[in-house]
């Protein structure tokens, strides 16, 4: 705890520019000296007693104490934080090896690949903690998936196999997950940020009264505190935030598909299986499934799986522009996608939307055509290996992330590129990949 | 008659927020505060149910005092009443603390007339978590129905609701008991202004403000004290290496072949 400085010789000073309006300083100030004005924190000098707690609470380093003495006290306070945070972590390590749990999502016997991506990341986190990575597998007749979990790196699989779990519903999956967590106490739990993962994660975290961070793009273990550092974009992707869950357990996070790399699959791996009963019957479940229909797989568009995305934005001008994109997609062996603007205009369906409110993709090649590159779009594609942008506006922000940027008219360049692909690319490649779009 | 509570949030229009490249700080000046766009279909869903079955629609919003503007706007779509949850004790709430406050707000509304349905938007555009809806459902023990694309039917006698959920590559129809909590998608539609009297009523109504006391919430469970997660650090997003920018200069075929050269060089396709 910081010592109170005698008198009010030092007061908190908040930089208006650096303040992000998160209000953590307001919440932490013992004298109520900080209030929000127009979304920015403001200090009432008369009420400030110079304790400096706001400085430590600010994630944007927007607060300083005026006066030399207090300025030195503030860094010391910051150093004190990791030590204090280390205590709960030490307590956690006193018991058996800490476990990182990864929820295995599956439908109709097919696992969602995000489950394995997270298993790979989970293994890294478990190693940093000196512990184990475990899969959590709920369902009915799911033993083939138990084996898959070992192949993708799980040390243990916790499983509940029951007909009531045959099709995902919140109540029984919540019940089963809580049961496992309360018995086996994982340190960390990861889920895919899919409709199923998001439906379940919020319910689990609330039941357990623990912290949950959504859509993380980065996960790591702080070497000192051993806490899970959860990094995610905030303010529509304009800034990155690192979030901690210091006291409650498990530390929970969701991660979108395709953010973490897929781990190697090793047929020879095996591990420990722990089975638990569900303890619920169908009569206990109030919500009933009336109807379930998968879209025809040959019609399902999975832009997340494409190696090459040919993507269009407002600059494509209209549906005819998207016909050009489709021709190029076929010629180059890619899949068509687009920005939110294109979806809002009705030029492409929502399943093909890339961005903050659409999908996150990381193809080998992302061709951005007539896309300006608003932050909300970049957040969905900026980890693509190669980005090529074509736009008439030389100042379009997309050129800031493009490996190669062409200032020009898509209506001329796209047909030319289609011709070039048809003339020069190996025929098998183009037609195989085009067929692959239907998978 | 149903009692429907719609939870809304006032958010900064994040599509207009940007980083000042010189200072590397967020420019939030002059960014308008709006009703979270994903909450608009929630309002519309409530209004459609009101028309179809008869309902009292209550709007609930947690935020600073100026969030009452969002409630006034939302009232003009024809909701019956609005309440703002605002209290120093709520400041610094993460999603767990927020769902605690909102669920206490729903319970307080329910003491006046039992609540049948809570409708929320899919997620907010500032937090983006999609966690608060499920949090409220879990705390209240309501049936949780997320990603709802269509409300098929409400059976007032049997006290059940049937909804269509939109999943990745699939759709399902679920039948659930009331009370239930829905998070809804844009497919539910956008609200239209109700009659002029409703618009005027919305502007004229002063919105009651409830604090921690009115909703009977323990202040340990809200605000920073009730938040297991905290933002520890903010930083600018990683920048990609700047690439090359070339002007096409009207030579479409030449540029096209150059682009293809690069794609082949990168080993992405075979020429």
For residue range A167-195, what is the model confidence (pLDDT) as tens digits? 999 999 999 999 999 999 999 999 999 99
Alpha-carbon Rg for chain A, nearest whole angstrom, is 25
The answer to whether A20 contacts B234, with C-beta atoms less than 8 Å apart, is yes
Q: Which residues pair with A159 in a beta bridge?
A: A137, A275
Q: Which residue would you say has higher pLDDT here, A304 or A415? A: A415
Grouping H, G, I as helix, E, B as strand and the rest as coil, residue A359 is strand
Same fold, A96-284 and A298-436: yes
Beta pairing, strands B18-20 & B25-27: antiparallel
- A302: closest CA of chain B, how far (Å): 9
Least confident of A74-78, A431-435, B56-60, B100-104: A74-78
For residue range A25-46, what is the model confidence (pLDDT) as tens digits? 998 898 889 998 877 899 998 8
The answer to whether A413 contacts B248, with C-beta atoms less than 8 Å apart, is yes
B247 contact residues in A (CB cutoff 8 A): 394, 406-408
Helix H or strand E segment including A205: helix A195-208
Which residues fall within 8 angstroms of residue A85, CB to CB, at 6 or more apart? A225, A227, A244, A246
pLDDT at A258 exceeding the cut of 90: no
Residues 144-173 of B with CB under 8 A from A: 144-147, 162, 165-173
Tell me what pLDDT residue B240 has.
77
**Residues B7, B43: Cα–Cα separation, whole Å:** 9
- State the pTM of this model: 0.85
Tell whether ipTM is more than 0.90. yes
Q: Which residues pair with A40 in a beta bridge?
A: A37
Q: Which residue has the tokens 């200069």?
A: B249
Q: Say if domain A12-83 classifies as CATH 3.30.70.20.
A: yes
- A254: closest CA of chain B, how far (Å): 9
Tell me what pLDDT residue A356 has.
80
Going by pLDDT thresholds of 50, 70 and 90, the confidence category of residue A431 is very low
Tell me what pLDDT residue A94 has.
53
Q: Which residues pair with A312 in a beta bridge?
A: A338, A369
For residue range B53-64, what is the model confidence (pLDDT) as tens digits? 999 999 999 999
**Measured torsion, CA atoms of residues A330, A335, A340, A344, in degrees rounded to the nearest 10:** 50
For residue range A369-397, what is the model confidence (pLDDT) as tens digits? 999 999 889 888 988 989 999 999 999 99
Q: Are A312 and A342 in contact (CB under 8 A)?
A: yes
Q: Which residue would you say has higher pLDDT here, A203 or A294? A: A203
Q: Give the 3-state secondary structure of chain B.
A: CEEEEEEECEEECHHHCEEECCCCEEECCCCCEEECHHHHHHHHHHHHHHHHHCEEEEEEEECCHHHHHHHHHHHCCCCCEEEEECCHHHCCCCHHHHHHHHHHHHHHHHHHCCCCEEEEECCCCCCCCCCHHHHHHHHHCCEEEEEEEEEEEEECCCCEEEEEEEECCEEEEEEEECCEEEEECHHHCCCCCCCHHHHHHHHHCCCCEECCCCCCCCHHHCCCCCCCEEEEEEECCCCCCCCEEEECCCCHHHHHHHHHHHHHHCCCCCC
Tell me what pLDDT residue B204 has.
83
Q: Where are the domains of chain A?
A: 12-83, 96-284, 298-436
- B264: closest CA of chain A, how far (Å): 9
Going by pLDDT thresholds of 50, 70 and 90, the confidence category of residue A22 is confident
A259 contact residues in B (CB cutoff 8 A): none
Instruction: Extract the tokens encoding A249.
Output: 């357990």
Tell me what pLDDT residue A214 has.
94
pLDDT at A158 exceeding the cut of 70: yes
Class of domain A298-436 (CATH, top level): alpha beta
The pLDDT tens digits along chain B (271 residues) read 899 999 999 998 877 777 676 666 677 777 889 999 999 999 999 999 999 999 999 999 999 999 999 999 999 999 999 999 999 999 999 999 999 999 999 999 999 999 999 999 999 988 888 999 999 999 999 999 999 999 999 999 999 999 999 998 899 999 999 999 999 998 999 998 777 887 887 778 889 999 999 999 999 999 999 999 999 888 887 777 878 999 988 889 999 999 999 999 998 888 8
Tell me what pLDDT residue B23 has.
67
**Residues A251, A264: Cα–Cα separation, whole Å:** 26
Domain A96-284, architecture per CATH: 3-Layer(aba) Sandwich (3.40)
**Phi, psi (5° rounding) for residue B265?**
-55, -40
A386 contact residues in B (CB cutoff 8 A): 262-263, 266, 268
Omega before residue B32 within 30° of 0, cis: no
The answer to whether B95 contacts A408, with C-beta atoms less than 8 Å apart, is no
- The stretch A131-147 carries a mean pLDDT of 97
Residue from A59, A103, A50, A97 nearest A78 by CA: A59
Residue from A109, A289, A112, A203 nearest B171 by CA: A289
Domain B2-221, architecture per CATH: 3-Layer(aba) Sandwich (3.40)
């Amino acid at each position: 705890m910081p010592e109170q400085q005698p008198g009010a010789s030092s007061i908190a000073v908040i930089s208006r520019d650096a303040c992000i309006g998160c209000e953590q300083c307001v919440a932490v100030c013992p004298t109520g000296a900080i209030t929000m004005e127009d979304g920015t924190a403001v200090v009432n000098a008369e009420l400030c007693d110079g304790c400096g707690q706001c400085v430590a609470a600010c994630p944007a380093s927007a607060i300083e104490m005026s006066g030399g003495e207090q300025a030195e006290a503030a860094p010391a306070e910051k150093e004190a934080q990791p030590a204090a945070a280390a205590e709960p972590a030490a307590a956690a390590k006193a018991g058996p090896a800490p476990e990182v749990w990864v929820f295995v999502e599956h439908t109709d016997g097919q696992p969602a690949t995000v489950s394995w991506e997270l298993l790979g990341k989970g293994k890294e986190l478990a190693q940093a903690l000196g512990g184990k990575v475990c899969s959590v597998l709920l369902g009915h007749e799911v033993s083939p998936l138990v084996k898959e979990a070992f192949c993708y790196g799980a040390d243990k699989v916790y499983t509940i196999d029951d007909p009531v779990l045959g099709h995902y519903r919140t109540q029984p999956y919540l019940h089963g997950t809580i049961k496992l967590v309360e018995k086996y106490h994982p340190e960390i739990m990861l889920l895919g940020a899919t409709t199923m993962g998001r439906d379940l994660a919020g319910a689990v975290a609330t039941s357990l009264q623990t912290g949950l961070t959504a859509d993380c793009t980065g996960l790591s273990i702080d070497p000192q505190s051993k806490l899970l550092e959860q990094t995610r974009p905030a303010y529509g992707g304009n800034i990155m935030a690192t979030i901690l869950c210091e006291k409650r357990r498990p530390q929970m996070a969701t991660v979108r598909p395709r953010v973490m790399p897929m781990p190697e699959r090793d047929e020879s791996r095996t591990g420990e299986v722990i089975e638990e009963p569900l303890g619920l019957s169908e009569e206990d479940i109030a919500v009933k499934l009336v109807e379930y229909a998968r879209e025809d797989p040959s019609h399902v568009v999975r832009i997340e799986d494409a190696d090459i995305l040919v993507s269009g934005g407002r600059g494509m001008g209209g549906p005819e522009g998207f016909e050009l994109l489709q021709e190029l997609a076929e010629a180059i062996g890619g899949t068509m996608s687009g920005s939110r603007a294109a979806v809002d205009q009705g030029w492409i369906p929502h399943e093909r939307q890339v961005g903050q409110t659409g999908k996150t993709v990381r193809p080998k090649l992302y061709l951005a055509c007539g896309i300006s590159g608003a932050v909300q779009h970049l957040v969905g594609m900026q980890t693509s290996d190669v980005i090529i942008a074509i736009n008439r506006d030389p100042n379009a922000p997309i050129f800031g992330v493009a490996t190669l940027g062409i200032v020009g008219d898509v209506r001329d360049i796209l047909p030319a590129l289609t011709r070039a692909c048809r003339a020069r690319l190996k025929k098998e490649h183009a037609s195989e990949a085009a067929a692959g779009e239907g998978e | 008659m149903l009692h429907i509570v719609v939870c809304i949030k006032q958010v900064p229009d994040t599509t207009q927020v940007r980083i000042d490249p010189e200072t590397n700080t967020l420019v939030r000046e002059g960014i308008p505060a709006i009703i979270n766009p994903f909450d608009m279909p929630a309002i519309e869903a409530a209004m459609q149910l009101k028309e179809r079955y008869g309902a009292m629609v209550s709007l609930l919003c947690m935020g600073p005092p100026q969030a009452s503007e969002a409630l006034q706007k939302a009232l003009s779509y024809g909701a019956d009443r609005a309440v703002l949850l605002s209290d120093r004790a709520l400041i610094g709430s993460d999603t767990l603390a927020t769902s605690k406050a909102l669920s206490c707000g729903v319970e307080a509304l329910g003491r006046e007339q039992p609540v049948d349905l809570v409708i929320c938007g899919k997620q907010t555009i500032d937090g983006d978590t999609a966690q608060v809806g499920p949090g409220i459902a879990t705390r209240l023990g309501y049936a949780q129905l997320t990603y709802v694309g269509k409300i098929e039917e409400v059976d007032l006698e049997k006290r059940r609701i049937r909804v269509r959920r939109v999943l990745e590559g699939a759709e399902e129809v679920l039948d659930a008991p009331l009370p239930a909590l829905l998070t809804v998608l844009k497919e539910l539609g956008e609200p239209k202004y109700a009659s002029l009297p409703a618009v005027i009523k919305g502007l004229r109504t002063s919105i009651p403000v409830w604090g921690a006391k009115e909703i009977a919430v323990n202040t340990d469970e809200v605000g920073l004290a009730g938040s297991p997660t905290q933002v520890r650090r903010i930083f600018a997003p990683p920048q990609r290496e700047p690439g090359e920018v070339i002007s096409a200069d009207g030579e479409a075929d030449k540029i096209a072949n150059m682009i293809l050269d690069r794609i082949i060089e990168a080993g992405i396709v075979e020429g």
